[in-house]
Amino acid sequence: MPTEFKLPDVGEGVAEGEIVAWLVEEGDTVTEDQPVAEVETDKAVVEVPSPYNGTVRELHYDEGDVVPVGSVIVTFDVEGEEVEEVDVEPEETEDEAEAEPEAPDSGGRTFAPPSVRRLARELDVDLATVSGSGPSGRITEGDVRAAAEGEAEEAEADAEEAPKQAVSKVEEESVSAEPQEAAGREKTLAAPATRRVAEELGVDLNDVPAAEERDGEAFVDESAVRAYAESQQAAQAADTAAVQAGESGESGAREERVPYRGVRRTIGKQMEKSKYTAPHVTHHDTAVVDALADVREKLKPVAEDQGFRLTYMPFIVKAVVAGLKQHPYLNSQLDEENEEVVLKNYYNIGIAVATDAGLMVPVIENADEKSIPEIADEMRDLIERARERSISREEMQGGTFTLTNFGAIGGEYATPIINYPETAILGLGALEERPVAEDGDVVAKETLPLSLSIDHRVIDGAVAAEFANTVQEYLENPSMLLLE
């Protein structure tokens, strides 16, 4: 008997994942716990194991598709017998047997009060995919409503994007084929078979114009779904034709739509939270680092002999740690709930890394306890793995202060956004020769522009300046680092 397997919640609060690669093919025999797919979420890439022994009957998505948690991704032919889940489809006409959802493993019962179970049915939420926030993980009414809203957002996004395409080009000119307008209801009744057709055609039932009502709710049948899908496809074809005509002609595509997903969206949300929560102040200064440049020049061959490439970063990390020790409020976090500032007596320094997928911040833990070569080595490893995307979520958590080296690409000053809930972030401009006034003369010196953003709720500008001065002192007199 065919059994549907839904994309599980592969990480805390993850709403969707991209099928990076299928590890099985249709017709393959699988054993329980054998990985069937690699799924990338906005947090990490994980392997999804098969919950069954059996055969893969159907893979429901292509590689590269973004799939909401709870969507059926694989249909298995399961060995032996299974239990039917009590999942609900009120309107119920035909072909029922095929679409029975699968019960979780024994012992994996869902704990939710009857009123919450009823609400889940009304909102068409699969309780098995909801993580409960109540005592011991009991599912509450709020959890179900949140899950339903999450799904509604997905649905809206899908509707905007329909038909699914990674990048769809939209010509702003009017198109000849008039698509049926998306109805955009909150709730639609339909037979399971109709729901299946809608899913196959990538149509959101809530967008299909409803010809009839049942019990005051819009009711949609299969023919309406097909008609809507056709009209959408016709519109899409017209779009494509218009785009192609435009490209071959003069106007060209004027806009491109790229899904706001995954790591990009995570970064966006994190930045939004930081910037709207912590009032930022950015302090700018410049360190004259001739001496540091000399030291590095001298040590470079030594380091090479030891097998590592010596950059300025490990020195800067050490200088920052020295500064943090003297100015502990820079290495803190505001506990808003308890109205306390948490001063941290450990120094986990995050290093912002630009990757193809976006910004990532691997963390060097206990940087105060590590030597310069150790920091250099660890940093190289973390950065490499961040770029390869093989870094784990844990390695990007627990930072107490962050460094962002935008100068590696170029530029002098910036206004970095704090890696919330930390209190401060130090941005490094390009380390290069710049004119410096010295004893009445302008001379060329190696300089490092510093941009320090702080959370003004926790500290004031004066403290920021003092911290910057300390860091600067260490950078300008690197021999002081020997005492650290």
Partner 1 sequence: MVVGDVSTGTELAIIGAGPGGYVAAIRAGQLGIDVTLIEKDAWGGTCLNYGCIPSKALITATDVGHEADTATEMGIHADVKVDVEQMTSWKDGVVDQLTSGVEKLCKANGVNLVEGTAEFAGNGKLRVAHGGQGQGSETIEYENAIIATGSRAIQIPGFEYDSEYVLSSRDVLDLDSIPESLVVVGGGYIGMELSTVLAKMGCDVTVVEMLDDILPGYEDDVKRVVRKRAEDLGIDFRFGESASEWEERGDDIVVTTENADGESFEYATDKVFVAVGRQPVLDTLNLDAIDLEPNDDGRLETDHTGETDVDGVYAIGDVAPGPMLAHKASKEGQVVAEVVAGKPSALDYQAVPAAVFTDPEIGTVGLTEAEAEEEGFTPVVGKFPMSASGRALTTGHSDGFVRIVADEDSGFVLGAQIVGPEASELIAELGLAIEMGATLEDIAATIHTHPTLSEAVMEAAENALGHAIHTLNR
Which residues would be at the binding site for partner 1 (CB under 8 A)? 84-94, 96, 100, 105-109, 111-114, 117-118, 121-122, 134-139, 189, 214-215, 217
| Rounded distance between C-alpha atoms, residue 53 and residue 81, angstroms | 11
Residues 23 and 25: their CA atoms lie apart, in Å, by 7
Asked if 409 contacts 303 with a C-beta cutoff of 8 angstroms, the reply is no
Q: Residue 142 CB, nearest distance to partner 1 (Å)?
A: 14
Strands (E), 356-431: 358-360, 363-364, 401-404, 424-428
**Closest separation in Å from C-beta 4 to partner 1:** 15
> Which of left, alpha, beta for 307 (phi over 0: left; psi -120 to 50: alpha)?
left
Single-letter amino acid code for the residue at 352: A
What residues pair up with 168 in beta bridges, in sequence order? 257
The token pair at 182 is 């998306």
Estimate to the nearest angstrom the gap between the alpha carbon of 138 and the chain centroid. Answer: 27
Asked whether 72 and 60 are in contact (CB, 8 A), the reply is yes
Torsion on CA atoms 272, 275, 278, 284, rounded to nearest 10 = 150
Cα–Cα distances (Å) from 49 to 21, 145, 219, in that order, read 13, 28, 37
456 belongs to the catalytic site: yes
Smallest gap from residue 71 Cβ to partner 1 (A): 20
Give, in degrees to the nearest 5, the angle at Cα 417 between 415 and 421.
150
Q: Closest distance between partner 1 and the C-beta of residue 459, in Å?
A: 43
Residues 2, 57: Cα–Cα separation, whole Å: 8
Pick the closest to residue 450 from 424, 435, 468 (CA basis): 468
Question: Which one is catalytic: 60, 280, 283, 456?
Answer: 456
Q: Which is nearer to partner 1, 192 or 427 (CB)?
A: 192
Quick one: which H or E segment has residue 314?
Answer: helix 313-326
Q: Which residues contact 341 (CB under 8 A, 6 or more apart)?
A: 329, 332, 333, 334, 335, 458
Peptide linkage before 435 cis (omega within 30 of 0): no
CB of 43 to partner 1, least distance (A): 25
Q: Which neighbouring-strand residues pair with 268?
A: none
* Minimum CB–partner distance for residue 24 and partner 1 (Å): 26
d(CA 333, CA 325): 15
CA dihedral 155, 161, 163, 165 (to 10 degrees): -120
Residue with tokens 């057709």, as numbered in its chain: 197
**Which residue, among 304, 374, 318, has the nearest Cα to 349 in the 3D structure?**
318
Give least dist CB 118 to partner 1, A: 7
Instruction: Please identify, using beta-carbon distances, which residue of 216 and 440 lies nearer to partner 1.
Output: 216
Closest distance of CB 96 from partner 1, Å = 6
Nearer to partner 1, 92 or 297 (CB): 92
- Say if CB 231 and CB 162 are below 8 A apart: no
> Taking the chain, what is the end-to-end CA distance rounded to the nearest angstrom?
68
Q: State which residue, 190 or 317, has the beta carbon closest to partner 1.
A: 190
Name which of 104 and 209 has its Cβ closer to partner 1. 104
CB of 133 to partner 1, least distance (A): 12
Task: Report d(CA 77, CA 55) in Å as an integer.
Answer: 5
Q: Identify how many contiguous H helices and E strands the chain contains and give both numbers.
A: 9, 22
DSSP state of 102: B
Please list the active-site residues: 456
